[in-house]
Chain A
Amino acid sequence: MLKLRWFVAVFLAFSMIVTACGGAATAPTSTKPSDQNQPSPTKEETKPTEPPKPSILRIGRAGSEDTLNPGTAMLSEAWVTFELVYSALYMQKLDGSFTFDLATSVSASPDNKVLTYKIKPGVKFHDGVPLTAKDVVFSYDLYKAHDDFPYMNGYTKYFDKVEAPDDTTVVLTLTEPIPNIESQLGYCFILPEHIWSKVAEGKAATEFQNEGLIGSGPFKLVEYKQNEFTHLAKNPDYYGTVPKVDEVIFQKFENRDALVQAIKTGQIDMITEMPNTAVATLKNEKNIKLVTGAPLAPDITDIIFNQVSPENCPKDAKCAGHPALRDRIVRQALATATNKQELIDIVLLGLGAPGLTLIADGMGDWYNNTIKDYPFDIPQANKMLDDAGYKDVNNDGVREMPDGQKPLVFRLNWPSDSTVAPRLAELISKTWEQIGVKTQPQAVDPDALTAMCCPTFDYDILIWGWGSDPDPSFLLRVMQTSVIPDGTSETGYSNPEYDQLFDQQSKEMDPVNRKELVWKMQEIVFKDVVYLVPFYSQAVQAYRTDRFTGWITDQPKLALDHVINLLAVEPVK
């Protein structure tokens, strides 16, 4: 009897511990910026007798910031927040072009190497300290000095020096003229020197958590819980149009079905992503508007052919690709035997357009829309292979190399976390089989895939993808010969003409001429089938019509969580 009581006592003690933990767990442990730094007007104003309820826009998404430190952040969610909280000299519009944000004018020296910017006077950081040209200089110098800032350091690659002759003038000297300076400066956020100067040196800058997130943008941070939510409030002292919503909360969902359920039940007001399978149900939902369009930064799904030639094989690399894939005719035949429309209809449930090259239709003017796609034509593809000498000599349904030896059996791999690749692999294998090409499909852990891919080149065909950037240089870069050894080139493609055009476009200051070069490059890589791009998928987002109104959805790019949208929306009256 005594022992049973003892057991019960253990039980009780355990439950008490749990209750105590519960109490502790609910205590606010997140970072709340101190009051003097960040007065939260919307909350404090609600204290008096007649509290006007603040309008809170809740946004659901499947990711969250990896860190609030712009130097070390790598995930796109962090960039969304930075654009809301910080200012930069430029900002991107929803048509893909850039406009002045903090800057009011720019003048360039004749050689385009010295740029003189005037910035808006009287701008203040969220803590009330004025923002001057010195903060701009400090920020750029900080980014430039830290090669352990993976992205920011890259944006300042061509900066020679930055000076502030007075409080509203920034003089930027470049090492060489670059045509896409807007897209670099658009992401060089202006940090407050009075906060960051204490952590500017060495490791301190990368270890700084920056959880106060003091910026000068239209929104300021109220509360941040990593991997849970980011709570922002409008900055009433913003130098531009003050947001019409009082607060914005980004919530991270680990489960996309829950995300869809949350907007259906009104727990959130807008979602930035969803599984394509949810589209049909949300379309018919009352009070929910589903919108599709080209994404702000298109995610490209691509089929990668191992083309690295023995002379370009990097040191220590295996370069064990199938020799047939180095033959352009084989790649063209594979492209001709790919039914892109079927892929769009089945894999994307119709929410996409046929793909051409890595420069997607969402890239605006940079996208070469004059390229004529390979029509889906099995007999033609068969003829191409026949003519090139790839014959099925042993009558097993699979063609052999022209010397009759190695059959056209390709390993086909994709990262195991990809949702589109398994279906895509199945479908392309089916049509390729009709031209006597066999695949060995297999999903692989993303990291293992990286190890196989580049610069090891121990694969035949991969299904993978790239994120992209407003400037086309970003993805055109990966097909240069010079990046084969460092792992940036996945294909091992090498074409001196292309390399030369790349260098030319990266120096061409005239936008019209540059566009011509970029279009030419697309034609080359399309003809060479460096990548086979099956489709460009659309962004699918949704918002509740009974909560907020004024969403901008008629622009070339769709991004409901973009700063331009969050400045435009207002509560439904």
Chain B
Amino acid sequence: MKRLLYLLNRVKWALISIVFVIVLNFFLFRVLPGDPARAGVRDPRLTAQAQQALRQRFGLDKPVINCFESLNPLKLGGCLENPLDTQFFIYVGNLLRGELGTSYQSGRPVAEMLGQALLNTVLLIGIAQIISIFLGIVLGLVAAWKSRTIIDFSVLVASLVAWSLPTFWLGIMLLFSGSYWLNLPVMGKMTAGADFNNNLEMFLDLGRHLLLPTLTFTIVVMGEYMLVMRSTVLEVLSEDYILTAKAKGLNTFQILKDHALRNALLPMVTIIALNLGFTVAGAIQIETVFSWPGLGLAIFNSVGRRDYPVLQGAFLLIAFSVITANLIADLLYSYLDPRIQAEDNG
């Protein structure tokens, strides 16, 4: 019962956050200066009449919200008879029907565009996250156990360097060296127009394209995991129960696995959960360097053109993944450390 209450409480807050994001998402882009009917294109051929036609096509001729014509510059407008015939309520109505609208730029449904992009991002980031979580935990654990040795020192330096490397720069360096020495592809997800004889060839091609961006991402994220893991394990190892375990005659492996690791995982879960949410967006730099057709790139390409529907959709997806990841972390917490839900409800 207590657990159920805790769970419901968490879900309630997650839902409230999402509603907040939906509203904020809409107004955020509209207070920015700029006009999607002109953005990105400066051309005398684009007459005022053509711009007006574009605005009508995008639904931007309607007031943003009742009694307001635009938000930047703030312009009051006449109040409508039907207050629901505004950009905001049309947007909310579409969302309730599960529609994210169509891209101003390409005229394609946003859901279709972002769906494909999200899969590509999850593929790239998912693999990199798994590798970096695994390596981060193992190396952090080893470094803490062998603290103040050459191993610890090497791990510490390596993780500090990895963590502080600018993602963009690291990506470019790997791109240059990987394409030069190993002839790895420098862009895209697959060789365009390739005629694969079988699935294996296709997967190999995908793998070759994945290698450099995954490596970049792994290096960048792994450092953080190693550092956090190392410091928490060091803290845990100084606890009395570790001394007790040693006194009981347990071997190193057992102490690390059953006593140190489990207790050290709590902060890791927080960081991993936060990272999982944010990495969906955080891949912008890597996706730009390697022209990887993911969500980050979709955002990057839409900002310049003020493609509101794509931006709204993408930000909603990111917010949704951050909130979900946090929710999962909260729930995981209560499993990993039963004290937490007791405190929460108490």
Q: Do A and B bind each other?
A: yes
Report the stretch among B11-19, B20-28, B49-57, B244-252 that lies at the interface.
B49-57
Q: Does A108 contact B (CB under 8 A)?
A: no
Would you list which residues of chain A between 70 and 84 have a CB under 8 Å from chain B? 72, 74-75
Query: Which residue of the partner chain, among A25, A226, A464, A486, contacts B48 with CB atoms under 8 Å?
Result: A486
Would you list which residues of chain B between 165 and 202 have a CB under 8 Å from chain A? 172, 175-176, 179-180, 183, 185-190, 192-193, 195, 202
Q: Does B108 contact A (CB under 8 A)?
A: yes
Which residues on A sit within 8 Å (CB–CB) of B149?
none
Report the stretch among B36-44, B76-84, B218-226, B230-238 that lies at the interface.
B36-44
Query: Which residue of the partner chain, among B39, B45, B56, contacts A151 with CB atoms under 8 Å?
Result: B45
Query: Which residue of the partner chain, among A3, A255, A417, A486, contacts B291 with CB atoms under 8 Å?
Result: A255
**Cβ distance B145 to chain A, nearest Cβ, rounded Å:** 18
Which residues on A sit within 8 Å (CB–CB) of B332?
7, 10
Report the stretch among B87-95, B122-130, B156-164, B313-321 that lies at the interface.
B122-130
Q: Does B47 contact A (CB under 8 A)?
A: yes
Q: Is the CB of A254 within 8 A of B34?
A: no
Q: Is the CB of A74 within 8 A of B41?
A: yes
Q: Does B241 contact A (CB under 8 A)?
A: no
Q: Is the CB of B335 within 8 A of A6?
A: yes
Q: Is the CB of A231 within 8 A of B179?
A: no
**Cβ distance A38 to chain B, nearest Cβ, rounded Å:** 14
Q: How far is it, in angstroms, between the C-alpha of A474 and the C-alpha of B151 when the chains are bound?
A: 68
Which residues on A sit within 8 Å (CB–CB) of B304?
417, 446
Which residues on A sit within 8 Å (CB–CB) of B123?
18, 21-22, 25
Q: Does B261 contact A (CB under 8 A)?
A: yes
Query: Smallest CB-CB separation from B338: which chain A residue?
Result: A3
Q: Does A207 contact B (CB under 8 A)?
A: yes
**Cβ distance A274 to chain B, nearest Cβ, rounded Å:** 14
Q: Does A527 contact B (CB under 8 A)?
A: no
The answer to whether residues A450 and B34 also contact, given A21-B122, A253-B187 and a CB cut-off of 8 A, is yes
Q: Is the CB of B193 within 8 A of A222?
A: yes
**Cβ distance B112 to chain A, nearest Cβ, rounded Å:** 9
Q: Does A265 contact B (CB under 8 A)?
A: yes
Q: Which of A147, A258, A267, A469 has the most CB atoms of chain B within a 10 A radius of its CB? A: A258
**Cβ distance B125 to chain A, nearest Cβ, rounded Å:** 9
Which residues on A sit within 8 Å (CB–CB) of B261?
4
Query: Which residue of the partner chain, among A14, A24, A451, contacts B126 with CB atoms under 8 Å?
Result: A14
Report the stretch among A244-252, A336-344, A402-410, A425-433 that lies at the interface.
A244-252
Q: Does A66 contact B (CB under 8 A)?
A: yes
Q: How far is it, in angstroms, between the C-alpha of A207 and the C-alpha of B185 when the chains are bound?
A: 35
Which residues on B sit within 8 Å (CB–CB) of A7?
265, 332, 336
Q: Is the CB of A227 within 8 A of B301?
A: yes
Q: Is the CB of B192 within 8 A of A228?
A: yes
Q: Is the CB of B33 within 8 A of A209?
A: no
Q: Is the CB of A229 within 8 A of B192?
A: yes
The answer to whether residues A209 and B107 also contact, given A18-B123, A253-B291 and a CB cut-off of 8 A, is yes
**Cβ distance B329 to chain A, nearest Cβ, rounded Å:** 11
Q: Is the CB of B306 within 8 A of A447?
A: yes
Which residues on B sit within 8 Å (CB–CB) of A29?
116
Query: Which residue of the partner chain, among B46, B189, B297, B300, contacts A150 with CB atoms under 8 Å?
Result: B46
Q: Does B203 contact A (CB under 8 A)?
A: yes
The answer to whether residues A254 and B297 also contact, given A154-B47, A447-B33, A478-B44 and a CB cut-off of 8 A, is yes
Q: Does A392 contact B (CB under 8 A)?
A: no
Q: Does A506 contact B (CB under 8 A)?
A: no
Q: How far is it, in angstroms, between the C-alpha of A254 and the C-alpha of B291 when the chains are bound?
A: 5
Q: Is the CB of B187 within 8 A of A262?
A: yes
Query: Which residue of the partner chain, among B34, B54, B133, B185, contacts A451 with CB atoms under 8 Å?
Result: B34
| Interface mask (A217-231 → B, CB under 8 Å = 1, otherwise 0) | 000001101111101
Q: Is the CB of B291 within 8 A of A26?
A: no
Q: Does A276 contact B (CB under 8 A)?
A: no
Number of interface residues of A (CB under 8 A): 80
**Cβ distance A457 to chain B, nearest Cβ, rounded Å:** 15
Which residues on B sit within 8 Å (CB–CB) of A445?
33-34
Q: Is the CB of B54 within 8 A of A66?
A: no
Query: Smallest CB-CB separation from A247: which chain B residue?
Result: B193
Q: Is the CB of A258 within 8 A of B186?
A: yes
Q: Is the CB of A267 within 8 A of B186?
A: yes
Q: Does A201 contact B (CB under 8 A)?
A: no
Q: Is the CB of A3 within 8 A of B336?
A: yes
Q: Does B275 contact A (CB under 8 A)?
A: no
Q: Does A148 contact B (CB under 8 A)?
A: yes
Q: Is the CB of B187 within 8 A of A226?
A: no
Q: Is the CB of A261 within 8 A of B175?
A: yes
Q: How far is it, in angstroms, between the C-alpha of A7 and the C-alpha of B49 when the chains are bound?
A: 60
Query: Which residue of the partner chain, among B192, B202, B297, B336, contacts A227 with CB atoms under 8 Å?
Result: B297
Would you list which residues of chain A between 206 and 221 have a CB under 8 Å from chain B? 206-207, 209
The answer to whether residues A261 and B186 also contact, given A254-B287, A447-B306 and a CB cut-off of 8 A, is yes
Q: How large is the interface on B (under 10, 10 to 19, 20 to 34, 35 or more residues)?
A: 35 or more
Would you list which residues of chain A between 9 and 55 have a CB under 8 Å from chain B? 10-11, 14-15, 17-18, 21-22, 24-26, 29, 43, 46
Which residues on A sit within 8 Å (CB–CB) of B265?
7
Q: Is the CB of A26 within 8 A of B106?
A: no
Query: Smallest CB-CB separation from B300: which chain A residue?
Result: A254
Q: Is the CB of B43 within 8 A of A251?
A: no
Would you list which residues of chain A between 142 and 166 have a CB under 8 Å from chain B? 147-151, 153-154
Q: Does B270 contact A (CB under 8 A)?
A: no
Q: Does A1 contact B (CB under 8 A)?
A: yes
Q: How far is it, in angstroms, between the C-alpha of A442 and the C-alpha of B295 when the chains are bound?
A: 31
**Cβ distance A493 to chain B, nearest Cβ, rounded Å:** 14
The answer to whether residues A228 and B43 also contact, given A24-B119, A150-B50 and a CB cut-off of 8 A, is no
Q: Does A56 contact B (CB under 8 A)?
A: yes
Q: How far is it, in angstroms, between the C-alpha of A14 and the C-alpha of B195 when the chains are bound?
A: 31
| Interface mask (A477-505 → B, CB under 8 Å = 1, otherwise 0) | 11000010011100000000000000000
Q: How far is it, in angstroms, between the C-alpha of A255 and the C-alpha of B193 when the chains are bound?
A: 21
Q: Is the CB of A3 within 8 A of B335?
A: yes
Q: How far is it, in angstroms, between the C-alpha of A264 and the C-alpha of B181 when the chains are bound?
A: 12
**Cβ distance A50 to chain B, nearest Cβ, rounded Å:** 16
| Interface mask (A234-251 → B, CB under 8 Å = 1, otherwise 0) | 000000000000010101
| Interface mask (B91-109 → A, CB under 8 Å = 1, otherwise 0) | 0000000000010011110
Q: Is the CB of A258 within 8 A of B290?
A: yes
Which residues on B sit within 8 Å (CB–CB) of A11?
130, 133
The answer to whether residues A447 and B288 also contact, given A66-B105, A209-B107, A477-B44 and a CB cut-off of 8 A, is no
Query: Smallest CB-CB separation from A451: which chain B residue?
Result: B33
Q: Does A69 contact B (CB under 8 A)?
A: yes
Q: Is the CB of A474 within 8 A of B120?
A: no
Q: How far is it, in angstroms, between the C-alpha of A67 and the C-alpha of B107 when the chains are bound?
A: 7
Q: Is the CB of A18 within 8 A of B186?
A: no
Q: Is the CB of A3 within 8 A of B34?
A: no
Q: How far is it, in angstroms, between the C-alpha of A153 and the C-alpha of B50 when the chains are bound?
A: 8
Query: Smallest CB-CB separation from A478: which chain B residue?
Result: B44
Q: Which of B105, B265, B306 has the most CB atoms of chain A within a 10 A radius of its CB? A: B105
The answer to whether residues A261 and B176 also contact, given A21-B126, A227-B297, A447-B39 and a CB cut-off of 8 A, is yes
Query: Smallest CB-CB separation from A417: which chain B residue?
Result: B304
Q: Does A280 contact B (CB under 8 A)?
A: no
Q: Is the CB of A252 within 8 A of B291?
A: yes
Q: Is the CB of B193 within 8 A of A56?
A: yes
Report, nearest first, the 9 A-B pairs whose CB atoms are least far apart. A447-B34, A18-B126, A229-B192, A148-B53, A25-B119, A486-B48, A150-B50, A231-B193, A254-B291
Task: Mark A residues whose CB is within 8 Å of B.
Answer: 1, 3-4, 6-7, 10-11, 14-15, 17-18, 21-22, 24-26, 29, 43, 46, 56, 58, 66-67, 69, 72, 74-75, 147-151, 153-154, 203, 206-207, 209, 222-223, 225-229, 231, 247, 249, 251-255, 257-258, 261-262, 264-265, 267, 417, 445-448, 450-451, 464-467, 469, 474-475, 477-478, 483, 486-488
Can you give 12 A-B contacts (C-beta < 8 A)? A3-B262, A75-B41, A150-B53, A154-B50, A227-B297, A254-B287, A255-B288, A255-B290, A258-B291, A446-B39, A450-B42, A478-B44
Known: A11-B133, A150-B54, A254-B187. 7 other contacts (CB 8 A): A18-B122, A24-B119, A261-B186, A264-B180, A265-B180, A267-B179, A446-B39
